[in-house]
């Protein structure tokens, strides 16, 4: 797993990356890309997490301009952040024609934002949201299976944060996760779908005051909701 500037939040991100970084290839459940995505280079673009960005997903992706001024694009983000605990992957059994991942971190540390977008085949986008909702419920308090023993207790998103999603997309779900045994690790995650597009946004905090993390999540979620229309 390459996290680079996100490395201080490794343990928090592990709950989302769980089995993806630690299990054998034949056990991975991330969606299969069924066709090469048409891509553009990111030399002049605000993304630094991949060398290419699929053209069909680019308009849906956050940029550093959507976030506070002290956030910068991260140069390496793991794209298997759909697993919430071992055996519970929101993307299990799904296929996608394209996908993209972007990430941003505060220059002084303490918080980061990761977004993953897919263009799913068939009814995959709706299933993505439904599977994410089920996983968030099942995984509450369950260790992530990565060897760290890290577990999160999930609860509904704060009302103001959830409101930032508005009625974006056709379906949406989300949760606030607090690390079991340490309130220093917190994640606020939202999963949405619109048509054949599925999006996951995770706002991660390490020793970040809750009001500040809520404000960051509200900003990120609102920007994604606006992009989804």
**36-62 per-position pLDDT tens digit:** 333 333 323 333 344 467 889 999 999
What pLDDT shows up at residue 146? 58
Residue whose C-alpha is closest to residue 188's, from 229, 228, 154, 164:
154
114 exposure class (CB count in 10 Å sphere: 0-12, 13-18, 19+): buried
Query: What tens digit of pLDDT does each residue of 181-202 get?
Result: 777 889 999 999 999 999 999 9
What rounded mean pLDDT belongs to the chain?
Answer: 77
Q: What is the pLDDT of residue 53?
A: 76
Burial of 12 (C-beta count, 10 Å sphere; 0-12/13-18/19+): buried
Residues of 90-109 as b/e, b for ≥16 C-beta within 10 angstroms?
bbbebebbbbbbbbbbbeee
pLDDT tens-digit readout, 110-167:
999 999 999 999 999 999 999 999 999 999 988 765 556 678 899 999 999 999 999 9
Q: What's the CA gap between 82 and 64, in Å, rounded?
A: 22
pLDDT attached to residue 18: 30
Q: For the whole model, what pTM was predicted?
A: 0.78
């Amino acid at each position: 797993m390459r996290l680079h500037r996100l490395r201080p939040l490794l343990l928090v991100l592990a709950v989302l990356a769980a089995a993806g970084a630690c299990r054998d290839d034949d056990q991975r459940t991330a969606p299969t890309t069924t066709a090469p995505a048409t891509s553009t280079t990111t030399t002049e673009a605000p993304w630094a997490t991949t060398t290419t960005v699929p053209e069909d997903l680019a308009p849906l992706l956050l940029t550093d301009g959507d976030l506070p001024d002290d956030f910068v694009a991260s140069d390496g983000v793991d794209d298997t952040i759909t697993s919430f605990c071992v055996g519970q992957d929101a993307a299990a059994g799904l296929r996608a024609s394209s996908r993209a991942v972007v990430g941003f971190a505060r220059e002084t540390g303490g918080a980061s934002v990761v977004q993953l977008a897919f263009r799913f085949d068939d009814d995959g986008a709706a299933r993505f949201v439904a599977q994410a909702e089920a996983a968030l419920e099942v995984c509450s308090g369950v260790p992530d299976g990565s060897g760290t023993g890290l577990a999160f207790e999930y609860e509904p998103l704060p009302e103001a944060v959830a409101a930032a999603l508005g009625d974006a997309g056709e379906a949406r779900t989300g949760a606030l996760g607090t690390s079991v045994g340490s309130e220093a690790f917190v994640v606020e995650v939202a999963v949405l779908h619109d048509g054949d597009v599925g999006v996951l946004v995770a706002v991660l905090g390490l020793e970040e005051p809750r009001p500040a993390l809520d404000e960051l999540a509200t900003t990120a979620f609102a920007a994604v909701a606006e992009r989804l229309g």
